[in-house]
Amino acid sequence: MVTCFLEITYFLSPIGIIGALIIKKLTFKVAKRHYWYRDFQ
């Protein structure tokens, strides 16, 4: 799902690599928070 989202970003954005890196960072932050909450509960 994330990979698909990144691929779409590559197509849509002329600076797709930068966009993908930012999205990857954001996705990683969200995933980390999600896992932390899951482990905490």
How far apart are alpha carbons 27 and 36 in whole angstroms? Answer: 14
Neighbours of 21 (CB within 10 A): 13
Predicted structure pTM score: 0.39
Domain coverage including residue 29: 2-40
Number of domains, the chain: 1
CB 14 within 8 A of CB 4: no
User: Residue 9 and residue 5: Cα distance in Å, rounded?
Assistant: 6
Q: Residues 2-41: pLDDT tens digits?
A: 667 767 766 776 666 777 788 888 888 887 776 766 666 5
At 29 the pLDDT is 85
CA–CA dist 16, 10 (Å, integer): 4
Q: What is the pLDDT of residue 31?
A: 79
